[in-house]
A and B are shown apart, each in its own frame.
Chain A
Amino acid sequence: MTYLAKPKLHSADAPRNALGYTRRDYEGAISTLCAGCGHDSISASIVQACFDLDIEPHKVAKLSGIGCSSKTPDYFLGNSHGFNSVHGRMPSVLTGAALANRNLLYLGVSGDGDSASIGIGQFAHAMRRGVNMTYIVENNGVYGLTKGQFSATADKGSKSKKGVINSDSPIDLASLALQLGATYVARSFSGDKEQLVPLIKGALRHGGPAFIDVISPCVTFNNHNGSTKSYDYVREHNAAVNRLDVILPKAQIEASYPPGSLRRVVQHDGSILHLRKVGVDYDPSDRIGAMNHLQERQALGEIVTGLLYVDSSGQDMHTHLNTVEKPLNQLGDAYLCPGSKALEALNATLR
């Protein structure tokens, strides 16, 4: 951490996006996390993704629970809406907010403790309800705020900083998300922004429940030999299935790819996902195949990363519930209280 605020000085030719903002305009307060925390890289990736997508900061709502990860929304998008909710309850608060106003872009930030332990039920139901959100789990495998006990995502057999071996089975949130109906599922690593930033961009433009499990080393309590979530371990065992480029509808496509190496997915909003093949033949539209691949590779001790599954035809909660398009706070009295005749008509249908 640092005590000083970042100086505002920058060179005159700092890049600006279509809205005229610099990357710095998407930052928040100075981070108070430990120096070298992977979470800070994820915050920077979110900043980069929002900058690249020309997102208006006031059209974003960022919600979180409790924990190191859940502190991070303070460190990015300082001009967006924010809600730091109760431990593990981010998904329900976000679901409520999304129901009330579907015009905002919802970004839920959580950790392995917040989502895989106390909030696992909340996580599961947000996924199966199809809430239109980007759900990022900053996954370091330990409870950093309480000095590094194993969390529910810690791998069986991994060693704590004090030398204790974990005997419990791990929860794989990406596999759960696949099973529970998320229509955009990815895994990445905080130390690989080239992979992570496009995955966040694709998720923000997805239009359905998008889940990203980001392995984010805890430098203080989980970056030693024997840990399976250290910088070195993740780099050595990273098995990426693809590389993603997100292309906005208006953008000209300049990149050229060798034939057969590219899979193209058009999302609801017209954004295009270009998935470049890396090594294995992997089909990100095959949900069952994705789950199998995850299990197989996990058994070999590999960490599968990339865009694991995407279904651009999926529907979100608003479609399921047939909700009104306007944000509730913009509906007039007459619409909200249609009067006794309307009530009688409704009652009549129930008799």
Chain B
Amino acid sequence: MKPTDISNPDYLHKVVDCQWACPAHTPVPEYIRQIAAGDFSTAYMINWNSNVFPGILGRVCDRPCEPACRRGRVDAEPVAICRLKRVAADFKDDIRDRLPRPPEKKNGKRIACIGGGPASLTVARDLAVQGYQVTVFDSGSSPGGMMRSQIPKFRLPDSVIDEECGYVEHLGVELRQNHWIGSLREVLASDWDAVFVGTGAPRGRDADLPGRNQAAAHIHVGIDWLANVAFGHVTAIGKRVIVLGGGNTAMDCCRSARRLGGEDVRVVVRSGFEEMKASPWEKEDALHEGIPIHNFLVQKAFTHDHGRLTGVLFEKVRAEYDDKGRRSLVPTGEPDVHMECDDVLIAIGQENAFPWIERDIGLEFDRWGLPVLDAQTLQSTLPRVFFGGDAALGPKNIITAVAQGHEAAISIDLFCRGLPLTQRPAPTMNLVSQKMGIHEWSYDNQVSEEARRKVPVKSIEEALKDIKSEFELGYDFKLACAETARCLNCDVATVFKPKLCIECDACVDICPTECITFTRNGEEDELRGRLKAPSHNTEQALYVAEGLKTARVMVKDENVCLHCGMCAERCPTGAWDMQKFQVNIAQAGAEA
């Protein structure tokens, strides 16, 4: 294998699994250390810089970081990264004086953002601090987009949305609420330097089945119903409710229904329990509230008595997999199942819809109705129109919308400066030794062996009483501190200098997970077979260094390194050092 080049920012960035997995590349270990140090405001600002909505994401993020967390590979559960983010937001001081100040003198460029959700607001924030004049058009009465309309208040209170959208407004972004854009042609006719479209995926998929039209009064499309609940238009539901679908919207629907008078609320899903799209913790929360989940049932018809909904008829299926592992749901042949109910909520998917974009203005759509975009620059076929969030590449999640907002902002900035969009500013990195004394490091290298802390919640009785009362209480300071200790500090990298090494094997002997081997070089597959500990996880890199006196190579399997620094403590010559890796992901305005 070729020796590893750790000066390439991507190499050590990948070692920080959580940060690499985060679409917005939030420096997770760094903010967790700040929380441990009691500096919640700094922790919050580290988050805010990367993901714009720490308080919101600390409650409702899809948390791709947690399945990626290194601790998950050596312990039962990953660090509760998401809930620690909430801790930073909950306990911070007033951070308004820490927000960047947009330049007094604007650069004269005017940007329109259509839609007031996370993608648009991210674009607005990134550009406002660079001196752009940004106007956000949103049809709602307050900003936030789907974060406000579709996420139930018991998961995400309005106050948090108000606060964090307010920080964006604070930067001089003009928010035009209750402003419905009916025509992109008209928008383009005004002299905006660039237009960003972040209108989400606003249409809920319907179930076109027998009885749908007849019994329509008690059959609701999930996301529309959730929006009506959010804005107080709907305050009650029948006692018996069936929720169709297995995603996070279905979980929000069933839990909302429980709070609006639903007593027998059940979720019915085509797939098996494990394959459901909902995040495991959201399924857990639904089960916790006494909502059963029925699997392998496909809706066939809505039954009704002269237009009054009586229930749903389901066909029983089982999963079969072909040679390539593709799943198909095959009827079992057993009798159909009929479930009685008073209301049905359909949460079987979301679709994009752009009725307000004329099809003859040069903006191309693909056959799925999505705009044709450059995947990296998010530029459409109309050069000054950019997309981001669910509107761009289909429904994903908030953190992806934020990440795309950052990318779109970079593109818009380059576009407005007349630079090629493909010359994107690269990330920069810094490595600083953490050594303070013979066995002292400026990070806490003692590895906690304690289990993940549970987040305190309200009692079910209390939680079900009020749909606006937040269910999770969040960690208190003590729980938060204990949880921060579980972070392995993956951004404190093991850096090896072969020239100093005397090959005494001290690091090999002390490594708790046996991830260091000195051996002759070879091809990766073969080399992995010769390492001290089994090296099966090929997604994790091998750190290879050459230049040793015996002509062997040092191979470190990054997979289960605990970043405990014992190799560096045991090294008699300082060939190993623990160095804090900081990667600065470029945002709009950075020089390429």
Q: Which residues of A contact B (CB under 8 A)?
A: 1-4, 6-15, 23-24, 31, 34-38, 40-41, 43-44, 190-191, 193, 217, 219, 223, 231-232, 235
**In the assembled complex, how far is the CB of residue A280 from the closest CB belonging to chain B, in whole angstroms?**
21
Minimum CB distance partner of A8 in chain B: B449
Known pairs A4-B446, A235-B550; A35 contacts B566 (CB<8 A): no
Check if A36 sits within 8 Å of B570, measured CB to CB.
yes
Contact partners of B509 in chain A: CB under 8 A:
40-41, 43-44
Check if A2 sits within 8 Å of B506, measured CB to CB.
no
Contact partners of A37 in chain B: CB under 8 A:
504, 506
Within B349-403, the residues touching A (CB, 8 Å) are: none
Check if B533 sits within 8 Å of A11, measured CB to CB.
yes
Pick from B506, B514, B536, B570: contact of A23, CB under 8 Å:
B514
**In the assembled complex, how far is the CB of residue B492 from the closest CB belonging to chain A, in whole angstroms?**
15
**In the assembled complex, how far is the CB of residue B540 from the closest CB belonging to chain A, in whole angstroms?**
11
Within B538-592, the residues touching A (CB, 8 Å) are: 549-550, 559-560, 562, 564, 566, 569-573
Check if B505 sits within 8 Å of A6, measured CB to CB.
no
From A15, A36, A191, residue with most partner B Cβ within 10 Å: A36
Q: How far is the CA of A13 from the CA of B540 in the complex (A)?
A: 15
Known pairs A4-B566, A7-B449, A7-B564; A38 contacts B512 (CB<8 A): no
Minimum CB distance partner of A3 in chain B: B439
Contact partners of B502 in chain A: CB under 8 A:
36, 219, 223, 231-232
22 contacts between A and B (CB under 8 A): A2-B439, A4-B445, A6-B510, A7-B446, A9-B74, A9-B447, A11-B559, A14-B514, A14-B533, A15-B533, A15-B534, A23-B514, A24-B512, A35-B572, A36-B502, A36-B572, A40-B506, A40-B509, A190-B504, A193-B505, A217-B504, A219-B572
Check if A7 sits within 8 Å of B512, measured CB to CB.
yes
Q: How far is the CA of A13 from the CA of B136 in the complex (A)?
A: 52
From A3, A35, A217, residue with most partner B Cβ within 10 Å: A35
Q: How far is the CA of A36 from the CA of B298 in the complex (A)?
A: 65
Contact partners of A15 in chain B: CB under 8 A:
533-534
Minimum CB distance partner of B564 in chain A: A7
Q: How far is the CA of A24 from the CA of B510 in the complex (A)?
A: 10
**In the assembled complex, how far is the CB of residue A27 from the closest CB belonging to chain B, in whole angstroms?**
10
Check if B512 sits within 8 Å of A2, measured CB to CB.
no
Bitwise, B95-111 to A at CB < 8 A (1) or not (0) is 00000000000000000
Contact partners of B525 in chain A: CB under 8 A:
none
Contact partners of A13 in chain B: CB under 8 A:
534, 536
Bitwise, B477-504 to A at CB < 8 A (1) or not (0) is 0000000000000000000000000111
**In the assembled complex, how far is the CB of residue A144 from the closest CB belonging to chain B, in whole angstroms?**
13
Contact partners of B308 in chain A: CB under 8 A:
none
| Contact residues of A: prevailing secondary structure | loop
Contact partners of B74 in chain A: CB under 8 A:
9-11
Q: How far is the CA of A48 from the CA of B504 in the complex (A)?
A: 17
Q: How far is the CA of A231 from the CA of B445 in the complex (A)?
A: 29
Minimum CB distance partner of A13 in chain B: B534
Q: How far is the CA of A232 from the CA of B548 in the complex (A)?
A: 12
Contact partners of A219 in chain B: CB under 8 A:
502, 504, 572
Q: Is B75 an interface residue (CB 8 A)?
A: yes
Q: How far is the CA of A258 from the CA of B330 in the complex (A)?
A: 59
Q: Is B513 an interface residue (CB 8 A)?
A: yes
**In the assembled complex, how far is the CB of residue A35 from the closest CB belonging to chain B, in whole angstroms?**
5
Contact partners of A36 in chain B: CB under 8 A:
502, 504, 506, 570-573
Number of residues from B at the complex interface, CB < 8 A: 35
**In the assembled complex, how far is the CB of residue A309 from the closest CB belonging to chain B, in whole angstroms?**
27
Within B152-207, the residues touching A (CB, 8 Å) are: none
Q: How far is the CA of A23 from the CA of B503 in the complex (A)?
A: 21
Known pairs A10-B513, A41-B509; A35 contacts B571 (CB<8 A): yes
Q: How far is the CA of A217 from the CA of B502 in the complex (A)?
A: 11
Known pairs A13-B536, A37-B506, A232-B502; A6 contacts B512 (CB<8 A): yes
Check if A231 sits within 8 Å of B504, measured CB to CB.
yes
**In the assembled complex, how far is the CB of residue A287 from the closest CB belonging to chain B, in whole angstroms?**
32
Check if A9 sits within 8 Å of B562, measured CB to CB.
yes
Q: Beyond the given A13-B536, A23-B514, could you list 5 further A-B residue pairs with CB under 8 A, ordered by the A residue number? A: A8-B449, A9-B71, A14-B514, A14-B534, A41-B509
Q: How far is the CA of A260 from the CA of B334 in the complex (A)?
A: 71
Minimum CB distance partner of B550 in chain A: A235
9 A-B pairs with the lowest CB-CB distances in the bound complex, closest first: A36-B572, A7-B447, A44-B509, A9-B74, A11-B560, A36-B504, A2-B569, A35-B572, A219-B572
From B73, B503, B505, B569, residue with most partner A Cβ within 10 Å: B505
Q: Is B409 an interface residue (CB 8 A)?
A: no
**In the assembled complex, how far is the CB of residue A8 from the closest CB belonging to chain B, in whole angstroms?**
6
Contact partners of A193 in chain B: CB under 8 A:
505
Check if B570 sits within 8 Å of A2, measured CB to CB.
yes
Minimum CB distance partner of B534 in chain A: A13
Known pairs A13-B536, A34-B572, A36-B570; A44 contacts B513 (CB<8 A): no
Q: Is B508 an interface residue (CB 8 A)?
A: yes
From B449, B502, B573, residue with most partner A Cβ within 10 Å: B502
Contact partners of B513 in chain A: CB under 8 A:
9-11, 14
**In the assembled complex, how far is the CB of residue A16 from the closest CB belonging to chain B, in whole angstroms?**
11
Q: How far is the CA of A8 from the CA of B74 in the complex (A)?
A: 9
Q: How far is the CA of A36 from the CA of B566 in the complex (A)?
A: 12
Contact partners of B569 in chain A: CB under 8 A:
1-2, 4, 35
Check if B572 sits within 8 Å of A4, measured CB to CB.
no
Bitwise, B438-467 to A at CB < 8 A (1) or not (0) is 010000011101000000000000000000
Check if B510 sits within 8 Å of A2, measured CB to CB.
yes
Contact partners of A11 in chain B: CB under 8 A:
73-74, 513, 533-534, 559-560
Known pairs A2-B439, A2-B569; A9 contacts B504 (CB<8 A): no
Q: How far is the CA of A34 from the CA of B509 in the complex (A)?
A: 13
Bitwise, B66-86 to A at CB < 8 A (1) or not (0) is 000001011100000000000
Contact partners of A191 in chain B: CB under 8 A:
503-505
**In the assembled complex, how far is the CB of residue A228 from the closest CB belonging to chain B, in whole angstroms?**
16
**In the assembled complex, how far is the CB of residue B420 from the closest CB belonging to chain A, in whole angstroms?**
45
Pick from A14, A43, A44: contact of B508, CB under 8 Å:
A44
**In the assembled complex, how far is the CB of residue B312 from the closest CB belonging to chain A, in whole angstroms?**
42
From B447, B449, B572, B573, residue with most partner A Cβ within 10 Å: B572
Q: How far is the CA of A315 from the CA of B421 in the complex (A)?
A: 83
Q: How far is the CA of A1 from the CA of B506 in the complex (A)?
A: 10
Q: How far is the CA of A298 from the CA of B550 in the complex (A)?
A: 23
Contact partners of B449 in chain A: CB under 8 A:
7-9
Bitwise, B514-526 to A at CB < 8 A (1) or not (0) is 1000000000000
Minimum CB distance partner of B502 in chain A: A231
Check if B510 sits within 8 Å of A10, measured CB to CB.
no
Q: How far is the CA of A38 from the CA of B569 in the complex (A)?
A: 15
Minimum CB distance partner of A219 in chain B: B572
Q: How far is the CA of A231 from the CA of B506 in the complex (A)?
A: 13
Q: How far is the CA of A177 from the CA of B504 in the complex (A)?
A: 27
Contact partners of B73 in chain A: CB under 8 A:
11-12
Check if A44 sits within 8 Å of B560, measured CB to CB.
no
Contact partners of A12 in chain B: CB under 8 A:
73
Q: How far is the CA of A43 from the CA of B509 in the complex (A)?
A: 9
Q: How far is the CA of A23 from the CA of B533 in the complex (A)?
A: 10
**In the assembled complex, how far is the CB of residue B260 from the closest CB belonging to chain A, in whole angstroms?**
44
Within B289-341, the residues touching A (CB, 8 Å) are: none
Pick from A9, A14, A24, A40: contact of B75, CB under 8 Å:
A9
Contact partners of B549 in chain A: CB under 8 A:
232, 235
Contact partners of A223 in chain B: CB under 8 A:
502
